[in-house]
Amino acid sequence: MVIALRIEVKGLSKTYEGGVTALRPTDLEIGDGVFALLGPNGSGKTTFMRMLATLLEPTEGTALIDGHDIRRDRQGIRRLLGYLPQDFGLYPTLTVEEQLDYMALLSEIADRAARQAAVVRVIEQANLGDFRKRRVGELSGGMRQRLGIAQALLKEPQLLIIDEPTSGLDPEERIRIRSLLAELGGDRVVILSTHIVADVEATADSLVILRLGEVLFTGTIEELLARTRGRVWMCEVPRERLHEMKEQYVFTGVYRAGDRMRIRVVGEGVDGVPAEAAEPALEDAYLDVMAVAESAAGEP
């Protein structure tokens, strides 16, 4: 399915009252598939998403979603949009089906038959079929997240924005949510935020890397990897050199190799130790981008 929806972010920024700049002026374009906002806590991901979802007023700039301006046309945007915040309220005593029916009513799907059809559809889309009679209070973290996603899909949004969808989940649930998001990205634009590189690897087509409200990278996963190609090294050092090397290089992996240590670093190269080049993984590329920004900012 071809998706026409495009998001153009133009000089968008946010400074909260009190002076914290959560997003510096940002320009970017978001197209089809799954788009990830990757960055540590406090890097501005939620702020960015809330502005796109028209829940937070920008300080400067704007964004156009399918031509609708987030500052001028909230109604137009809300018709296109399903938004799932990190913490969302559920009714523990309702069943999954009842909760969805109630949410459908709140989202103004007034006609009973249309509501029922929407509930059946989202239960299937979120793979909740076996849990439709389960009480919401008895659901695991992953199932609750799935229910949240189902809710966000009730009005068949062309754009789904989900804040930290894998946060607090155990590894198996995390994998299931990732595959659900990747699947959903086939039919609509999905924007998700995460601080976990593996989430991006498993779901996203393109991404932005944010740090302290600044965009450090934007592009496809392949472009990010290409940037780091030739900057990843493996070498073996005696254990006692590990500490000193850590001060000097950006480590992306440390492994035991008998009585020595095998280390993986990103950067220009390694001095005084034989090092072989390695193919970059996304984690290397992310840590490289972060480390370059930190050293440019004069941080250790």
Taking the least distance from each CB to ligand ADP, the nearer of 34 and 235 is: 34
Taking contact as CB under 6 A, which single stretch among the options 12-20, 126-134, 153-161, 171-179 is the one that binds ligand ADP?
12-20
Taking the least distance from each CB to ligand ADP, the nearer of 162 and 261 is: 162
One of 3, 6, 15, 42 touching ligand ADP (CB under 6 A): 42
Question: Nearest CA to 279 among 227, 229, 234?
Answer: 229
Taking contact as CB under 6 A, which single stretch among the options 38-46, 151-159, 179-187, 220-228 is the one that binds ligand ADP?
38-46
Contact indicator for 143, 191 with CB cutoff of 8 Å: no
Name the amino acid, one letter, at 131. F
Question: Nearest CA to 27 among 5, 9, 51?
Answer: 9
Name the amino acid, one letter, at 58. P
Taking contact as CB under 6 A, which single stretch among the options 18-26, 92-100, 222-230, 239-247 is the one that binds ligand ADP?
18-26
One of 41, 113, 259, 279 touching ligand ADP (CB under 6 A): 41
Write out the H or E segment, with its range, that includes residue 275. Answer: strand 275-277
Taking CB under 6 A as the rule, does residue 16 contact ligand ADP?
A: yes
Phi, psi of 26 (to 5 degrees): -125, 135
Taking the least distance from each CB to ligand ADP, the nearer of 19 and 258 is: 19
Q: Where are the strands (E) in 123-269, listed by range?
A: 159-162, 189-194, 206-211, 214-220, 232-238, 250-257, 260-266
One of 25, 33, 39, 165 touching ligand ADP (CB under 6 A): 39
Taking CB under 6 A as the rule, does residue 22 contact ligand ADP?
A: yes
> Distance (Å, rounded) from C-alpha 66 to C-alpha 76?
9
One of 38, 45, 148, 237 touching ligand ADP (CB under 6 A): 45
Name the amino acid, one letter, at 32. D
Packing angle, helices 112-125 and 141-152, rounded to 10 = 130
Q: CB 8 → ligand ADP: shortest distance, Å?
A: 21
Taking contact as CB under 6 A, which single stretch among the options 36-44, 225-233, 253-261, 268-276 is the one that binds ligand ADP?
36-44
Q: How many residues bind ligand ADP (CB under 6 A)?
A: 12
Placement of tokens 């071809």 in the chain: 2
Q: CB 290 → ligand ADP: shortest distance, Å?
A: 13
Taking CB under 6 A as the rule, does residue 44 contact ligand ADP?
A: yes
| Alpha carbon 32 to its chain's center | 15
Taking the least distance from each CB to ligand ADP, the nearer of 42 and 253 is: 42
Taking CB under 6 A as the rule, does residue 46 contact ligand ADP?
A: yes
Taking CB under 6 A as the rule, does residue 18 contact ligand ADP?
A: yes
Question: Nearest CA to 278 among 226, 232, 227?
Answer: 232
31 CB-near residues (< 8 Å, 6+ apart): 3, 6, 7, 189, 206
Residues of span 240-299 touching ligand ADP by CB under 6 A: none
CB contact burial 114-138 (16+ within 10 A = b; e otherwise): ebeebbeebbebbbbeebeeeebee
Taking the least distance from each CB to ligand ADP, the nearer of 22 and 70 is: 22
The Cβ of residue 50 has, within 10 Å, a number of other Cβ atoms equal to 19
Residues of span 200-219 touching ligand ADP by CB under 6 A: none
Binding site for ligand ADP (CB under 6 A): 16, 18, 20, 22, 39, 41-47
